[in-house]
Structure 1
Amino acid sequence: MASPKKEQKKTTTTATRHVALLRGVNVNGITIKSADLKALFVELGFDAVRTVLASGNVLFDTDERDAGALRTRIEQALRKRFDYDAWIVLLTQKQVADMAAAYPFERIDEERHPYLVFGSDPAMLDEVMEKAGTVDPKLERLKQGKGVLYWQCPRGESTDTPVAKLLAKTRYKSSTTARNLRTVEKLIAD
């Protein structure tokens, strides 16, 4: 007589795919290798960790639900490991996908770069919009979305326009970071 098969436990996953967007990595003397960044996220106990490009983009799975505590834990680990003033914007991959899908300007433009400006503090995004005032549409475009700013600027001038100079202010360093739409599309393709 054959032995009865052991009943297999059904496992359900409650993990959510997250995107950590690090501010100021691999610029201004802050160099972090992708392998080292990935290793830190693995050590923090996250699953399916993957870095995208060398500009501080990390995809990972976790079942942790407190986004504020999760963000703080990651920032503290980055500070300790890499000895710099680390700030991240933390979103779910679905949030990033929804933001990208709502991009209001031309996605492919021979003269302009498409950007998304992500924020960890909605009040700071509101403030950027207010301080930017009326943007000259011949130079750049700026529109507020849900938890994001959509920005388009001339190729080669992503640090020189009025909006770029506003975003570079120290005041926004801890709460905002920008990514080119093509980078964002790589983050949601995973």
Structure 2
Amino acid sequence: MNERIKYISVLRGINVSSKRKILMADLRKMYAELGFANCISYIQSGNVIFESKNLSNTELGRKIEDAISEKFDFDVPVIVRTYEEWGQSVQSNPYTNSHKKESLCLTFLNETPKTELTEAISELNFEPDNFQIIDKDVFIYCSGPYHKTKLSNQFFESKLKVKATTRNWNTVLKLLELSAK
């Protein structure tokens, strides 16, 4: 039996300041051409819900990255989670009960970072902003706008030696809601 699994993919750095432009209709079409079913995009930042045969998140991410490189002629990191993993991430956020959701972000990592690297950056102080790393997720509380925090994708990629992309908490919740349908 070839049962399909629901996945959510998040692309890093597309449609930002007129750079690395991809129309969502073109992205959905590309996903369909890859053999994915029921492709839904949400906003212009590269969030796609889709169904596929059971492959690893890493395999799916590479497949999508390769297709984007071939079709659009630039490289884009793609991080994939199953619907179940996405829901677990939402449940794991340590800040949801103590902070407004407008102040929360989730940085998705393409792999679990090495323990010694997470321990090293966990000792750093960025108050009033805070973060917690749980497996392949970095939960962020920003006291101000996200674009002003030092807790950026580049920071986590540099310190943890992984690929990363961030979504605000409203987007994280909306993607969970849309993928539940």
TM-score of the alignment, normalized to the shorter chain, above 0.5: yes
Report whether the alignment pairs 1:189 with 2:177: yes
Distance 1:126 1:166, change over 3 A: farther
Larger Rg: 1
Q: Residue in 1 aligned with 2:155? A: 167
Q: Is the 8 A contact 2:103 2:141 kept in 1?
A: yes
Q: Residue in 1 aligned with 2:110? A: 120
Letter in structure 2 aligned against 1:23: R
Q: Is the 8 A contact 1:115 1:180 kept in 2?
A: yes
RMSD between superposed Cα atoms in Å: 2.7
Per-residue deviation, 1:168: 7.1
Q: Deviations over 1:86-142 (max 9, x none)?
A: 1111110110111011111136846962011111121279736633633244x2111
- 1:118-157 correspondence to structure 2 within 5 Å: 118-123=108-113, 127=117, 130-131=120-121, 133-137=123-127, 139-156=128-145
Q: Is the 8 A contact 1:135 1:142 kept in 2?
A: no
TM-score w.r.t. length of structure 2: 0.84
Q: Residue in 2 aligned with 1:23? A: 12
Distance, in Å, in 1 between the alignment partners of 2:80 and 2:48 is 10
More helix by share: 2
Provide the aligned length of Structure 1 versus Structure 2: 177
Report whether the alignment pairs 1:100 with 2:90: yes
Distance 1:125 1:26, change over 3 A: farther
Q: Which runs of 5+ in 2 are unaligned?
A: none
Q: Residue in 2 aligned with 1:81? A: 71
Distance, in Å, in 2 between the alignment partners of 1:111 and 1:67 is 27
Per-residue deviation, 1:65: 2.0
Identity %: 22
Q: Which runs of 5+ in 1 are unaligned?
A: 1-11
